[in-house]
Structure formats: structure tokens, C-alpha cells
Amino acid sequence: MRIIIAGMGDIGYQLAKQLSTENHDIVAIDLDHDRLSYTDQMADILTIEGSSTSIEILEQAQIENTDLLVAVTSSEEVNIATAIIGKKLGAKKTIARISNAEYLDPRYGVNFSELGIDFMIYPEELAALETVNLINRTAATDIIEFEGKLFVIGLKLDKNAPVIHKTLSEISKEYSSFDFRVVAIYRNFRTIIPKGNDKFLPNDQIFVITKSEALETVLKLAGKENIKFDNIMILGGGKIGRRVASLLSNKMKVKLIDSNPEKAFELADELPNTLVIQGDGRDIDLLAQEGIIDVDAFIAVTEDAETNIISCLLAKHLGVKKTIALVDKVEYVPLTQTIGLDSLINKKLIAANNIVRFIKKGKIISYSSLEGIDAVVMEFVAQPNSRIVSENIAELDFPKDAIIGGFIRKDQSFIALGSTKINPGDKVVVFSLPEAVSKIEKFFK
């Protein structure tokens, strides 16, 4: 595919990084010379300095031969204009990043595809939905759901977890009657696709694929329990914070803290079921006064990554069971798992994942990068006559940097074993290091 990416901020860069390992012709457009210089470090990417709303610049990028135009600058207006102009000039498909929730609301009846925009990405909404998902699955650091039948969950191993110092083979034998499979271990900034003799160590972050009925068993193995949350405190009343409060306030007690007096009054009117507090969430006296020791989860989603990290660490120190921090500085992401945060949200990485999913539609049903670790989770549909259906999994010579976790066949889900044979039409979940993605795709063609 020929893909033009307009805007090389964090979303554009992450997208280019994910796609650059595949056989795509990628053109990056940005007004900022320094951002383009950073992008130049990636192989096979053509960079053009200029405005993506310029017809001359788009023609220079050969817009008439482009399969996909992705507009992800920091300006919603520029993104919408870029997509509309690009479609008129010949781009087959267009995607625009937006910051206005109204554009996705069907009540307003605006058909943006008629204007030339095929897909809209709203990072704040995606981040809010992921946050709510993590609150609903209280013990997980990450969770990806496949049709409610298979789950990939991330868990931090406590030092007293039953699996500590046991090998994968020992765990498999001991719990052979339960349907789950460990697909990755994250340890000391390194992602490991585990083999039978790999041991689990304290503070490992493990990723497990399982069926719904085995979730409780998997949690117990990691030394966790999926308790019900009743009290939530949110720091930051921006788009993500207010959306999370809106989604959770009907089923649990929610307190929302924001430092801006005018915004606090506005939020109080908008969120009748949420207790809105005006104050500095970094103030330990304020947090104590508002009962943080009785809170089950603390969610920090201000626009300042340092504030989110510090306040979550403070909440954890005060005994809060789960903390979730919005961390939009990509360079902080690998560090957060090592300093005591339970979960992190990176809205730009989530947005990039959703764009990749759109690009790969058909061949790959879903595609997700996991925050803080160097791995992706993909769901493929097995095609007739493809390599994946030719032999049992153990005989496939599947890449060593990847593992088939499970599959959905019609209405049933299964955990993959070496003796498993994939059938045409099966939806197959694969966990992989990024360098193996292109090899894996060949098995499903």
C-alpha cells in the first residue's frame, strides 16, 4: 500500500514505526523539520516538509496514487481539511484524527464519508473506554477482549504468587484442567516469548490468554483477586476524565478533582452523579480530607504526565488498590511498569493501534500494541489454502518470536496446543514481537 501520514507527532510516529517494518510505501508530511528528521531514522519513509492542506504538497506526495491518507496532526481542522482535499485529489481511503465528540454522535446525522472522510479517530474516547475496561477488570494491568470469549490479560506477579519460581511446564501439568496459556513475560525491559523451561520470578509482568471461565484461576495463580470496586477518584476533568466519570458514576461512587474553578463548576452541572472537587490533586492534605484511604481506584488523567505519575504513586503509597495514569510522553512508557504503577493509558498509542486495525481490515480483525512492552496482539481469520490450516501448530515452523494463543471457531473458544489444527474461518489470536509480524502474516494469506 501507498500510505501518506500527515502529522508526525506521537500518533504519526507510532503509526509510521508500526508500518515501516512491512512492505508499504510511506510518505510523512509535517511542517516541523525536526520531527521529519526524527522520522528519517526509520527505513523506507519519504518525508516532505510542508502543510498537508496544500494541494501542491499533496501532489508532490503523489496523492492520486495513494491507497490511504491518514491525517493525525494536532489540529482537528487541518486533519478534516486534509482528508477532504486528499479524497478529492484521488486518495482511495482517508482517516482523520478529531477532538470533537459530536462528530461521532449519530444524533446529529452528519455523514462525513460523503464529505470524503472514511474513518474518524477520537483518541480521548478510546482512552476513556480502555480506562473503564481496566476498572471493570480490577486486577489486570492490560486487557484485550475477543468477542467476550477469549481474553489476553496482563498481570504483575506478587512475590507470594503460587507460580513464583515454577517453570511453565510445571504450571501446565499442575493446572492441566484449566484453559489458559502464558504468551509472554515482561522482565527487566525485555519481552520474552516463553518456553517450557522458563521460570516465573517476582515482579514479572505476564500476559495470559484465557477463556472467561478460567479468569479467576489465572488471577489466583498470579496472587491476585478480582474484587469489586465501589469508590473511584479521578484527577483531571478534561475530555478523558469527564467521560470516564460519565461511564462509571451510575454504578459506583465517583469523585472528580480538577484545579480549575470554572471547569469544576461546569463539570458539577454536567455530571450530576459525580462529586466534583476543586483543588490540587497533588496535595496530600486534600486527598486525605476527601477520603483517599477509602478509595478502591485512583485514575490520573490530567494533561501533565509527571502530575499523573506522582499522584498515582502517592495514592499507591496511601493504600489505594489500583492506580491508572495517563502517560502521553512515549519515552516514559517503559519506565512506568518498574516504578509501581498498576496500569497506564497512552491515548496516542491506542489511536495508532486503531488506525493499523483499519489498515489491516480483512486480513487482520484486530491489532493492538501493549503499552510499555515491545509486543503486539493480533487476531486473524484463517483463509482456505493458507499455511496456517495445512498442519498441526507444532509442525508449522511458526516464528520463534511469536505464539498462537487461542482461536474462536463459530461460537466456541479454544486455547491453542501443539496438537491443535486450525480450520478455515477460525479467528486466531497471535502474540508477537514486532519483528515477526510480517512473517506471521504470510501464514494467513
Q: Which fold has domain 230-345?
A: Rossmann fold (3.40.50)
Tell me what pLDDT residue 128 has.
93
Domain spans in the chain, listed from the N-terminal domain onward = 2-121, 139-221, 230-345, 375-443
Q: Is the pTM of this model over 0.85?
A: no
User: Could you report the per-residue pLDDT of 251-295, keeping only the tens digit for each?
Assistant: 899 999 999 999 999 999 999 999 999 998 888 888 888 889 899
Tell me how many degrees the CA angle 356-412-206 measures, rounded to the nearest 5: 55
Mean pLDDT of the chain: 87
Tell me what pLDDT residue 267 has.
95
Instruction: Write the CATH number of the domain with boundaries 139-221.
Output: 3.30.70.1450
Tell me what pLDDT residue 337 has.
61
| % the chain with pLDDT above 90 | 44
User: Could you report the per-residue pLDDT of 140-150, keeping only the tens digit for each?
Assistant: 777 788 887 88
β partners of residue 368: 377
- Residue 2's contacts (CB-CB under 8 Å, 6 or more residues apart) are 24, 25, 27, 62, 65, 66, 67, 68
More confident site: 212 or 46: 46
Q: Using the structure block, give the residue that is written with the C-alpha cell 498481570.
A: 155
Tell me what pLDDT residue 109 has.
80
CB 86 within 8 A of CB 55: no
Q: State how beta strands 190-192 and 68-71 pair.
A: unpaired
Tell me what pLDDT residue 63 has.
97
Q: Evaluate if residue 362 carries a pLDDT over 60.
A: no
> Can you tell me whether residue 15 is helix, strand or coil?
helix
Q: Evaluate if residue 445 carries a pLDDT over 60.
A: yes
User: Which of the four CATH numbers 3.40.50.720, 3.90.650.10, 3.30.70.380, 3.40.50.10470 does domain 2-121 have?
Assistant: 3.40.50.720
Same fold: 139-221 with 375-443: yes
Is residue 170 within a helix (H) or strand (E), and if so which, with residue range? helix 168-174
User: Could you report the per-residue pLDDT of 16-73, keeping only the tens digit for each?
Assistant: 887 876 778 899 999 998 888 877 666 578 899 999 999 999 999 999 999 999 999 9
What CA dihedral angle connects 438, 362, 71 and 104, to 10 degrees? -140
Q: Using the Cα atoms of residue 225, residue 226, residue 227 and residue 229 in order, give the sign of their dihedral.
A: positive
More confident site: 208 or 363: 208
Q: Which fold has domain 375-443?
A: Alpha-Beta Plaits (3.30.70)
Tell me how many degrees the CA angle 200-202-205 measures, rounded to the nearest 5: 70
Give the closest residue to 70 by CA, choosing from 142, 163, 4, 155. 4
Tell me what pLDDT residue 88 has.
96
Residue 353 pLDDT level (bands cut at 50, 70, 90): confident
Give the closest residue to 405 by CA, choosing from 383, 376, 425. 376
User: Could you report the per-residue pLDDT of 101-118, keeping only the tens digit for each?
Assistant: 889 888 888 889 899 999
Tell me what pLDDT residue 441 has.
85
CB-based burial, 6-21: b 16+ in 10 Å, e otherwise: bbbebbbbbbbbbbee
Tell me what pLDDT residue 367 has.
72
Tell me what pLDDT residue 154 has.
86
User: Could you report the per-residue pLDDT of 363-402, keeping only the tens digit for each?
Assistant: 667 777 766 677 888 889 898 989 999 999 999 999 999 9
